[in-house]
Amino acid sequence: MSEIEGLVRALREGDDATKVAAAKFLGTLAGSTANNAVIAEAGAIPPLVDLLRDGSAGAKRHAASALGYLAWATSRHDASRILVAAAGAIPPLVRLLRDGSAEAKSEAVWALRNLACGNDTNQVLIAAAGGIPPLVDLLRDGSAEATELQAAHALGNIAHNSDASAVAIALAVGFEAVVELARRGRVTVDNWDLVHDAGVPAKRKAALVVAALLGDCVPDSVPREIKGLIGPYL
């Protein structure tokens, strides 16, 4: 406990190099569920989020990694996931996903995947912070396969039990994905299965989006009566 408390002090009071070293070591320790609660109780989460928000590029990367391990190590309970999100980690993680180095993006994806796992509130927060489009981009921009895998898992976690997120993922992928969701309850990118076995509400929402998009393609010159006839088929 005293070692962890010393690392938390280093996070708060040290220079950048000291903070980076402390974040890296805490991430290693957080890989153990036994240490997870101790690290959270020692107050590590808020300074890690501060480092993620305002630190150097290297500091942000290691802070994201540590927060990801804190979220991952609580697979049997949700306490640290709730604390990490409550401390404001999700928006800076999404920014890192957009603007960070390849290594930093990999750590941000890992953290977001774990935060979204089994937590409906965090799923909504990630989507609201704009996390879906950059996660989809990672599947298309030639990222390392391990990063793509984490991005696919993150999107699957975000879509779990969320019709709105399933549709948002389909929209981020493209029109054909929205049609696929409406018809089959699935969204895929290359070989990655992002949404599978979506329920009827998600399919209906996707169908409404398809209808709206196709409806916009019907020119104003078409008589209203004809629009009314073809509308149900759009």
Asked if 115 contacts 71 with a C-beta cutoff of 8 angstroms, the reply is: yes
Phi first, then psi, for residue 24 (nearest 5°) are -65, -45
Coil, strand, or helix at residue 221? coil
For residue 108 the two structure tokens come to 């941000």
Give the mean pLDDT of the chain.
88
Helices (H), 160-196: 163-173, 175-184
Q: What is the pLDDT of residue 37?
A: 85
**Pairing status of strand 192-195 against strand 187-189:** antiparallel
pLDDT band at 229 (very low <50, low <70, confident <90, very high): very low
Helix and strand numbers (H, E) in the chain are 15, 2
Helix (H) / strand (E) containing 101: none
Q: What is the pLDDT of residue 95?
A: 97
d(CA 115, CA 156): 12
Coil, strand, or helix at residue 192? strand
Q: What is the pLDDT of residue 234?
A: 43
pLDDT band at 212 (very low <50, low <70, confident <90, very high): confident
Which pairs with CB-CB distance under 8 Å and at least 24 residues apart come from 5-10? 5/42, 7/44, 8/39, 8/42, 8/43, 8/44, 8/47
pTM here is 0.87
Mean pLDDT, residues 21-42:
90
pLDDT in tens, 49-98: 999 999 999 999 999 999 999 998 555 557 889 999 999 999 999 999 99
Show the CA angle centred on residue 212, arms to residues 208 and 215, nearest 5°.
Answer: 135
pLDDT band at 219 (very low <50, low <70, confident <90, very high): low
- Of 158-162, 198-202, 210-214, the poorest mean pLDDT is in 210-214
pLDDT in tens, 141-173: 877 888 999 999 999 999 998 999 999 999 999
CB burial of residue 38 (10 Å; 0-12, 13-18, 19+): middle
d(CA 203, CA 72): 31
Q: What is the pLDDT of residue 79?
A: 83
> Which CATH superfamily is 1-130 part of?
Leucine-rich Repeat Variant (1.25.10.10)
Phi first, then psi, for residue 226 (nearest 5°) are -70, -40
Mean pLDDT, residues 176-190:
92
